[in-house]
Amino acid sequence: MTEGIVLMQQTKSIKDIDVSNQRVLIRVDFNVPLDNEFNINDDSRIRETIPTINYCIDHNAKSIILVSHLGRPQGKDSTYSLKHILRRVERLLGRNVAFAESLEALPSILALLPQGGVVLLENIRFYEGEENNDTTLSQNLGKLCDVYVNDAFGASHRKHASTYGVAQYATHKVAGLLLKREIDCFSKALTNPLKPVLLIVGGSKVSSKLTLLSTILDSVDKILIGGAMSNTFLHAIGYNMQSSLIEPHLAEDAVKILRTAKAKGVKIYLPVDVVSTNNLKNPTEIKITPAQDIPDGMMVVDLGPATVKLFSQVIRACETIIWNGPMGVYEIDKFSRGTFSLAHVLADTYAYSVIGGGDTADAIDRAGEKDNMSFTSTGGGASLELLEGKVLPAFEVLERK
């Protein structure tokens, strides 16, 4: 699986070309979580892209166009307007940023922009052609720039006009500093890492993470499985999971993974005890039991204390740790203990720690340990596909060294 990463690492970055007096278009991922009043809940994705924008300004770029999507709008819908985040971009950059309502509006705005001026284009998903990688839209984006920079790691698994098609129509196509950092940090964990290497995997979307488990068996020494993911595995080995969230049709795949892991000498650890409840929203009963004795009608929502101890020991014995997927329903205080405890243990180690997955990053932030991890990816789906060993489309179209 590491061949793909090595290939992606060979991508040229803005540092390998001259951006001086060039019109630069940067595909960023400003798809940040907003609340009902359009306040930004987490601006990490914007913050992480600032160095790339500053680099272009500092190296005398003529103009900088920022292109992003926000959410999954069906056509033009002001709920998903990037205007909601314009002020934050300006504040983090410390300068004025123009706003272009449409591609058609861009030329006149660019004409008035001072040297090194920055303009943010409205949500690129308002254009039908974006998601189907339309040629005309790709060409129109390409026409606007001399240098195309992709810094949208979070969207790098999408083969869209602004992440993929556009590259064909730009003279230079290179990675931004964030895209580069993401691939370098994942590479450190997967190509020639300090051993033992541990994968912690959890969360709810078992189906979307089984491929990861089977492909990563060649790159890790140990795997801790928690969250709803472990429910399916425990069910597969014959435990009665009662009302827990499971994906029974994946039981066979789960058993196959356990068998292959054994054959390859990879140790997989499953919860030995669990926290279960009768009702997620209004719990009137919460029980800690062995994983084999889940009370009738209850659902598993967190790791039990013995499992936390066991998993902590494994974490302390590893040198490289990749974590994707929370260990329980961490959004609810009562069921966050397993996830938060492991976050604290991980923070206290000297291991190289890489966090992937939107909810996992959020959980670690809530546990107050975000700054104590070696690296937190800005990608959810993208980091998952990278860990699965895929070459991400956005990297495919960039120049190589």
HSE-CB of 167 using CA atoms within 13 angstroms: 20
Smallest separation, CB 239 to ligand 3PG (Å): 33
Cβ proximity to Mg ion, 247 vs 359, nearer residue: 359
Q: Distance between CA 110 and CA 94 in Å, rounded?
A: 20
Residue closer to ligand 3PG by CB (options 117, 380) is 380
204 binding partner (options ligand 3PG, ligand ADP, Mg ion, none; Cβ < 5 to 8 Å by kind)? ligand ADP
Indicate if the alpha-carbon torsion angle 87, 92, 93, 95 is positive or negative: positive
Nearer to ligand ADP, 142 or 271 (CB): 271
- Report the C-alpha gap between 347 and 371 in whole angstroms: 9
Q: What's the CA gap between 147 and 144, in Å, rounded?
A: 9
Residue of 154, 165, 304, 325 that binds ligand ADP (CB under 6 A): 325
By CB under 6 A, tell whether 358 contacts ligand ADP. yes
Contact partner, 154, from Mg ion, ligand ADP, ligand 3PG, none, Cβ < 5-8 Å per class: ligand 3PG
Distance CA 88, CA 45 (A): 11
Distance, in Å, from the CA atom of 119 to the CA atom of 140, rounded to the nearest integer, reads 16
Gap between the Cα atoms of 102 and 98, Å rounded: 12
- Strand 286-290 versus strand 273-277 pairing type: antiparallel
Give backbone dihedrals phi and psi of 295, rounded to 5 degrees, phi first: -60, 155
Residues 392 and 385: their CA atoms lie apart, in Å, by: 7
Of these, 8, 118, 329, 382, which contacts ligand ADP (CB under 6 A)? 329
| Radius of gyration of the chain, Cα coordinates, nearest whole angstrom | 23
Select 76 or 205, whichever has its Cβ closest to ligand ADP. 205
Residue ranges of E strands in 58-139: 63-67, 98-100, 117-121
Size of site (CB under 6 A) for ligand ADP: 22
Q: How far is the CB of 377 from Mg ion (least distance, A)?
A: 13
Selection from Mg ion, ligand ADP, ligand 3PG, none that 22 binds (CB < 5 to 8 A by kind) is none
At its nearest, how many Å lie between ligand 3PG and the CB of residue 229? 19
Nearer to ligand 3PG, 80 or 311 (CB): 80
Report the residue from 165, 338, 380, 389 that binds ligand 3PG according to the rule CB under 6 A.
380
Neighbours of 16 (CB within 10 A): 12
Residue 246: strand, helix, or coil: coil
Which window, 107-115, 153-161, 212-220, 266-274, contacts ligand 3PG (CB under 6 A)? 153-161
Taking the alpha carbons of 326, 330, 331, 335 in that order, is the dihedral positive or negative?
Answer: positive
Residues labelled catalytic: 45, 205, 358, 381
Contact partner at residue 383 from ligand 3PG, Mg ion, ligand ADP, none, CB < 5 to 8 Å by partner kind:
none
| Cβ-based nearer residue to ligand 3PG, 72 or 281 | 72
DSSP 97: -
Contact (Cβ atoms closer than 8 angstroms) between residue 171 and residue 142:
no
Shortest distance (Å) from residue 365 CB to ligand ADP: 12
Which 318-377 positions form the footprint of Mg ion (CB under 5 A)? 358-359
What are the distances in angstroms from CA 82 to CA 39, 64, 115, 159? 12, 16, 23, 21
In angstroms, what is the minimal distance from the CB of 328 to ligand ADP? 5
Q: Which of 154, 165, 271, 357 binds ligand ADP (CB under 6 A)?
A: 357
Give the C-alpha separation, 352 to 79, whole Å.
39
User: How many other C-beta atoms lie within 10 A of the C-beta of residue 238?
Assistant: 9
**Interaction mask 226-265, ligand ADP, x per CB under 6 A:** -xx--x-------------x--------------------
Binding-site member from 35, 36, 37, 72 for ligand 3PG (CB under 6 A)? 72
φ and ψ at residue 158, rounded to 5 degrees = -100, 135
Under rule CB under 6 A, residue 356 binds ligand 3PG:
no
Contact residues toward ligand ADP (CB under 6 A) are 202-205, 227-228, 231, 245, 300-301, 324-326, 328-331, 357-360, 380
Contact residues toward Mg ion (CB under 5 A) are 358-359
Contact residues toward ligand 3PG (CB under 6 A) are 29, 31, 72, 154-155, 158, 380-381
